[in-house]
Amino acid sequence: MAAGFAGWQATIARRQPRDAREGAAVAQTVADAARRQADAAEQQARSAEEQATAAGDHLRAAEEQVRLLQRQLDAEEAGRHEARGPRFRIRRGWVDRHTQRGRVTARIYLEQTDGPGLDTVTATATGPVMRDAENNTARCRSLAVGGNTLLTFSARTPPRGGMIVLDLDCTSATGETWHRSISHDLSNRDPYEPFEWGAMSSPGPNRNDHR
């Protein structure tokens, strides 16, 4: 009996190292598998991050393309708006030789040559003629192509030179607005002298016409 028990114990003792080695091998296999899974998960995470970055780049590029297209559309609409706006020319202008209370009066005949009918035109005068302006703003209503209006401005001192610049803020009946600028070299002329259309002289399109 004792001999048999001892043999059984010896058999168990011999098998234990082998079982330990097998267990270690199994543990190593499991560890390797876990490591491979971790590496794969990390690679997938990097790939997902790269894809997210690429998607963000594509989105920003698409948004920039939309903004560029919108700017182009806005520029085209602004161009169309300007093209359909009013055009003017100064048919005649002068500075009165007769003054009251030391004031100098500048008179301008402004004609609309193109564009839509306007509800209002507000003219602001600057330049050497208006160097000491008393009243440099004039306003007219209901102007259309072929129509003209007399604008009157006054200053407190004699002019230095004859150039006057009109900044025109125009509003149509539909509420559209435009800004125009036009200049003219005034000549001293008696305001009571008869006004003759055929005797008018034009300084030239660069100064007198707004094209």
Single out the residue of 148, 27, 53, 157 nearest to residue 105, CA to CA: 157
**Top-confidence residue, 101 or 51:** 51
Residues 137 and 119 in one domain: yes
- Answer yes or no: is pLDDT of 92 > 60: yes
pTM of the model: 0.59
Residues 40 and 100 occupy one common structural domain: no
Question: Where is the domain boundary, 59, 83, 107?
Answer: 83
d(CA 181, CA 207): 10
125 pLDDT exceeds 80?
yes
What pLDDT score was predicted for residue 113?
93
Q: Which of 19-23, 42-46, 83-87, 96-100 has the lowest mean pLDDT?
A: 96-100
- Domain final residue, candidates 83, 99, 117: 83
Work out whether the CA dihedral 83, 84, 86, 88 comes out positive or negative: positive
Both 113 and 182 in one domain: the answer is yes
In three-state secondary structure terms, 126 is strand
- Boundary residue ending a domain (83, 103, 124): 83
42 or 102, higher pLDDT:
42
Domain of 160: which CATH number? 2.60.40
Same domain, 48 and 7: yes
What's the total number of domains in the chain? 2
Do 46 and 146 have their domain in common?
no
Distance CA 110, CA 166 (A): 10
Higher per-residue pLDDT: 207 or 71: 71
Average pLDDT over residues 182-192: 69
Q: Is residue 68 domain-shared with residue 129, that is, in the same domain?
A: no
Do 102 and 202 share a domain, yes or no? Answer: yes
State whether 185 and 131 are in the same domain.
yes
Domain around 21: 1-83
Check whether residue 153 and residue 141 sit in a common domain: yes
Do 104 and 200 lie in one domain? The reply is yes
Give the lowest-confidence range in 6-10, 102-106, 165-169, 199-203.
Answer: 199-203
Verify that 76 and 92 share a domain, yes or no: no
Tell me what pLDDT residue 123 has: 95
Q: Is the same domain home to 9 and 29?
A: yes
Residue 45 has pLDDT above 50, yes or no: yes
pLDDT for 99 beyond 80: no
- Say what the pLDDT of residue 25 is: 72
